[in-house]
A and B are shown apart, each in its own frame.
Chain A
Amino acid sequence: MNKASLNNREEATRIFEEEMLPHLDAMYNFAFHITFNEDDAKDLVQETFLKALRFIHSFKTGTNAKAWLFKILKNHFINDFRRKSKEPALVGYHEVETIYNADEAPQEVSKSFKTEPFNENIGDEVTKALNHLPVEFKVIIILCDLEGFTYEEMSKILDIPIGTVRSRLHRARAVLRERLIKYAASMGYNSKE
């Protein structure tokens, strides 16, 4: 597939129809879980698709469209979307990345990374626990456990090494474990095999 034909209108429409639109539900769910607001989720997905349309020439057909879209969505959320919503982040994404990559305690990140624009006490136990997480932890849990992305795909979506994917997942799960292990057991999830 050369660039000339990708610029071709018909081809772009086909790529969109066949490779992008099937991921609309997954993207909407991702957007909903990181914003916890249906209107924000709609705006976020809409803006993501507009960006994707604009940059469709940089998409290589046959590569992972879902990961490509999720990366645009995540970047748009971190860089633009939150900035204009009610509570702007106190630090930029790259500073946060530095903190994470330096392998510091997650508490420190959540202190400096004020991100929850919603009431974290809404909803059932599981939703509450997820909403309680710092956004970077929440994102990786959704990508891994809800969407089933591989470590390699997450590494590309988040622009971090696989080792960081693993350690971030590990720390996110340690926090979730504290909040949910008793609840999980009470729901019959903790049986030994």
Chain B
Amino acid sequence: MKCTDKDCHCPAGVDRSRLRDEIMPRIIDGQASNDEEKYFFEVVEKCVHCECKEKCTEQLAIKFLLKNNLKRLKVPDDLRQSIRAAMNSDFY
């Protein structure tokens, strides 16, 4: 899916589906390379037809909501102890 709008200021031949399906997820999950990141922000700033900026903001909101709100538990002491006991036993 290339942007074919002659009046659009995005980089020529920008592949919006690759941006949306491959680069955006890596941006969201912090796994994009520097080049990908640069490319992503260049396109989302310049291409008037690209919805990735909005989608990216939304998905990041959900990601951080989960990260900050799901409870994190400490492993119970008795579990830690029984695993240690198994380690020190002879069965393995």
Contact = CB atoms under 8 A, between A and B. Distances in A.
Q: Do A and B come from one complex?
A: yes
Interface stretch (B4-12, B42-50, B57-65): B57-65
A45 interface: yes
A13 B67 CA distance: 33
Interface of A is mostly: helix
A127 B70 contact: yes
B83 A46 contact: yes
Given A166-B21, A166-B25, A177 B58 contact: yes
Given A50-B86, A53-B86, A126 B75 contact: no
B21 A180 contact: no
A33 B70 contact: yes
Contact of A126 (B26, B31, B70): B70
Interface residues of A, number: 47
Contact of A24 (B63, B69, B80): B80
B29 A144 contact: yes
Given A173-B59, A177-B59, A180-B62, A130 B70 contact: yes
Interface of B: 21-22, 25-26, 29, 31, 57-59, 61-67, 69-76, 79-80, 82-83, 86-87, 91-92
